[in-house]
Amino acid sequence: MEMTQIAGSARRGWYHGWNIVAVCVLSQVAANGLTYNAYSLFLRDWSKELNSPVSRLQLPIAGMALVAALLSPMVGALADKYPARRLLGWGLLGMAIFYVAISSVTATWQIAALYAILAPLALCLSTAVTANALISRWFVRRLGLALGLSAFGIGMGGMVLPPVIGALLPTVGWRMIWRGGALVVALLVLPLVVAVARNRPTDSEGNYYLSSDGKGPNAQAHGHGRAAGSPVGWREVASRRNFWLLVAIYLPMMALYGGVGQNLGPYAASHSLSPQSAGALLSVLSFSHVISTLVLGLVSDRFGNRLPFAGLALIMVIGAATLAFGAGFPVLAVGSALIGLGGGLFTLLAAAIAVEFGAAAFGRAFGLCMLFIPFTALAPFATAKTQESTGSYAPALLGLAALVMISGFLSLLLRERRGDDKAASPALSRT
């Protein structure tokens, strides 16, 4: 009876964990918006002004992904050890400096250097690795939903910013857009995130959200105590079969999503569409991404992550085929929407890692998982280079789709614990 009353009171009061989710969303919008989501909209102006082919201008994204991947395990370990407020704050400060620096470039190599040196650490600190580790400390129940809402930060920036940037570019210019972004991050986003972020609930706070209701594969102990068993090290993470399956599942999906997203501006131009239409396609892709993060978060809480991963792979394959063979804005919008749904893969990935390793080791495991992102970093470059060589995006799209189909089959091999499993903690037991 007493425990029921505690849970009931937790239900009635506003849980600060949802404020944590909100500032994680804000941080990721600020960090990803210009850096990644709207990147393809600047390619045409950069290509003309800096006298550089579009394929070469795709390489800075690859360089950033490579360095960020190498830094992710370190940032993951920091996220398990140090206050998230500090990590997010330094990351956002770094992003503001990066935005100012990009607005002043005069050569392609400078963009590449800034994306390889300054952007990766700031991006890692202010986005998914830190944010998801923080959220995993605030939620067991509704974890999938919380992670899905947090992933808004990646999709929301791409949904809101591209149409605005597409409209402003002809009149304001790309340099002023980057400088304005720096001011917003430094003066608005950073102070708000630092003020709200708190590393974990108090002992009496959030009993409802830090307990299990015994329903669904994700409803189990997540190692939320300060000392939930012995620490999980790198070797323990790398020894899990599910860890390597998750790596093999998410990489092809991310490659297809990135290959399309970072080429959508030039792809639209190759179909004789205007910059405004290109911005609209990016907005469609990101809106679909946002919807996917929410839906997949709810589905993960109810059904786990194996079948949603398989369904997501099938949807992305259909989207790639639509873009490969389609023509006209309505058809391309449908293809963009289907690929955009693939952006929700990080909701499933984070939920699966939280179930497998628990909150105490989430940062380390998620960071190590991000170490493999360089295998996808060249997908935008390869997609652009294929178009320059063959005159069509279809070969690259269909090749990536074949890899995603394989990842869909691999997802069926995941072993997920059910709510009635007797394992003491996912951080200590093996599958």
What does the pLDDT look like over 54-82, one tens digit per residue? Answer: 878 878 988 888 888 888 888 888 888 88
Average pLDDT, the chain: 82
Q: What is the mean pLDDT of residues 19-43?
A: 87
Please state, for a pLDDT cut of 70, what percent of the chain lies above it. 84
- Tell me the range of 9-13, 137-141, 172-176 where mean pLDDT is highest: 172-176
Q: How confident is the model at residue 95 (pLDDT cuts 50, 70, 90)?
A: very high
Q: How many residues does the chain have?
A: 431
Provide φ and ψ at 58, rounded to 5°: -80, -20
| Per-residue pLDDT at 119 exceeds 90 | yes
What was the pLDDT predicted at 208?
67
pLDDT tier, 2 (very low <50, low <70, confident <90, very high otherwise): very low
What pLDDT score does 246 carry? 93
Mean pLDDT for the stretch of residues 122-144? 85
Q: What is the DSSP letter of 359?
A: G
pLDDT score, position 262? 80
340 contacts: CB under 8 Å, gap ≥ 6 = 155, 257, 284, 285, 286, 287, 288, 289, 292, 319
Closest CA to 370 of 128, 94, 59: 128
**Rounded to an integer, what distance in angstroms lies between the CA atom of residue 259 and that of residue 403?**
13
Least confident range of 2-11, 94-103, 123-132, 385-394: 2-11
How many whole angstroms separate alpha carbon 288 and alpha carbon 340? 5
Per-residue pLDDT tens over the stretch 356-390: 887 777 888 888 888 887 788 778 888 888 888 88
Judge whether residue 227 has pLDDT over 50.
no
pLDDT of residue 314: 96
